[in-house]
Amino acid sequence: MSSPTRRDILRAAAVLAAAGTLGACGKSDEDEAGGVVTVDLWHGQTDTGKAAIDALIKEFNRTHPNIKVEGGGGGVTADSMLQKVTAGLAAGSFPDIAYIFGSDLASMTRSPQVADLTSALGDRLKDYWPAAKDAVTVKDKIRAAPALLDSLCLVYNKKLFAAAGLPLPKAGWTWDEFVTTAQKLANPAKGIFGTGWPGVGDEDTVWRLWPMIWDLGGDVVSEDGKTVAFDKVGEQALGTLDRLRTDKSLYVDPKPGGEQLYQVFLGGRMGMVATGPWELPDVIDAGLEYGVAPLPSYSGKPVTISGPDTWTVFDNGSARVKAATEFVTWLMEPKQDVRWDLEGGSLPLSTTTAAMPEWKKHAASTTGLQVFVDALQTARVRPTIAAYPQISEHLGEAIVAVLLGKKSPADALKECVDQSNAVLAVPN
């Protein structure tokens, strides 16, 4: 028997390398040895949010020796998570848990890979805010766990109000008062604006309009889901934006992401901005003298929107689904929830958490935070329907057309209603 020649060895090495390349394309369904189930988590968090979730993962892995959560983050921020996960689903290589925005959940659940959490979470959600429950319920089934809760309120700059000699905004004020106040606050010569609105036409542009629509008795879609339900009242809501524009009191943020809108506010050049509780740490860092008030309304009754985000669980085999579900339910428990709220910037997911002394202390030490929590009582969420992203796109274009003064509110609304009804007419 002759020893293998150099050529044989090289050939074998090449074959092995090729096999390795191919093998890497597939994914293993096997659990690791020793009965430890690995859970792949794409959280999409950065900065403080990442630090908070990393600490919680560490704690979970320490207390649950049979499960190992790997918080890789998926290499994208939460804003791009939908694209990343969808590409992963198409390729058959997806995480066990991903951070999915509530407005995207319904279209995500068209995938058969999204786990149904109805039996695991059904009872647990009882003392959670209605907004948190509604956001994860698609077609009467619970398709995700609530991850982050917020509500839209108005943060204002006290200094600018004092300079203009105006009374501070208070609960129960109307959009009319808002528009006049914004006009008085604005000082175009000095580059000071009354308020602002994101002007790209994405979801950030659109979600701020829904509380106005709801307040006027409209809705996103009709009861039967066949037509939009803002065709009658939309013009009035868009008209309010149009007045802000013609008054020159509105800053329209031309950049995607809406960051600049808040930069203008943080720089002390904007009187009021509608935002979520996640903006408060930055406002405090900027050393701004601020206050928080509920959103104005037309009727004088309080109404706002909540845009909850979700932990969506994907099916990579029953063992991993079970482990992933265990992790997300553990995260929702008040003990963990309160840590996530304090460090990650969410509002308490449940009334139990909101009643905890840790949260109460935190809320008392942060100006205005309680206003956001109180707003949850009347906060509604966008419907979890698959057509929502498309309706949002059309409404976003209508809002931008009004913000830029390219169309009248009536024309912009009519076009948007026609396009959205065409979307809803397609059977799903």
Partner 1 sequence: MASVVGTFTLDPRARKAAAKRRTRGEGATAWAFVSPSVLIILGLSVIPVLWSLLLSFQANDLVSPSRWVGLANYKALAADPAFASAVQHTLVYTALYVPLSVVGGLAIALMLDRPIRLISLYRTLVFVPFVVSAAAQGVLFSFVLDPEFGAANSVLHALGLPAQGFFSDPGQALYLLVAISLWSGTGFCVIVYLAALQGVPDELVEAARIDGAGRAGVLRHVVLPTLTPVTIFLVLFQTINALQVFDLVFVTTKGGPLGSTTVIVYFIWEKAFKSFTAGYSAAAAYALAIALLVAGLALQLYQRRRTGKALR
Residues binding partner 1 (CB under 8 A): 7, 10-11, 14-15, 17-18, 21-22, 25, 82-83, 86-87, 89-90, 107-108, 110-113, 191, 199-202, 251-252, 254-256, 260, 264, 389-390, 393, 397, 400-401, 404, 406
Shortest distance, position 427 Cβ to partner 1, whole Å: 14
Nearer to partner 1, 305 or 387 (CB): 387
Nearer to partner 1, 10 or 355 (CB): 10
Nearer to partner 1, 113 or 174 (CB): 113
Shortest distance, position 298 Cβ to partner 1, whole Å: 27
Buried b / exposed e along 351-370 (16+ C-beta atoms within 10 A): ebbbebeebeebbeebbbbe
Nearer to partner 1, 364 or 404 (CB): 404
Shortest distance, position 91 Cβ to partner 1, whole Å: 9
Which residue type sits at 314?
F
Contact between 215 and 313 under an 8 Å Cβ cutoff? The reply is no
Shortest distance, position 395 Cβ to partner 1, whole Å: 13
Shortest distance, position 403 Cβ to partner 1, whole Å: 9
Give φ, ψ of 89 to 5 degrees.
-65, -40
Contact between 348 and 149 under an 8 Å Cβ cutoff? The reply is yes
Q: What is the DSSP string of 130-162?
A: HHHHHHHEETTEE-SEEEE----EEEEEHHHHH
Nearer to partner 1, 379 or 400 (CB): 400
Nearer to partner 1, 113 or 370 (CB): 113
Give φ, ψ of 268 to 5 degrees.
75, 25
Structure tokens at 424: 């809803």
Contact between 143 and 117 under an 8 Å Cβ cutoff? The reply is yes
Shortest distance, position 353 Cβ to partner 1, whole Å: 33
Give the integer Cα–Cα distance in Å for 318 and 88: 19
DSSP state of 255: S
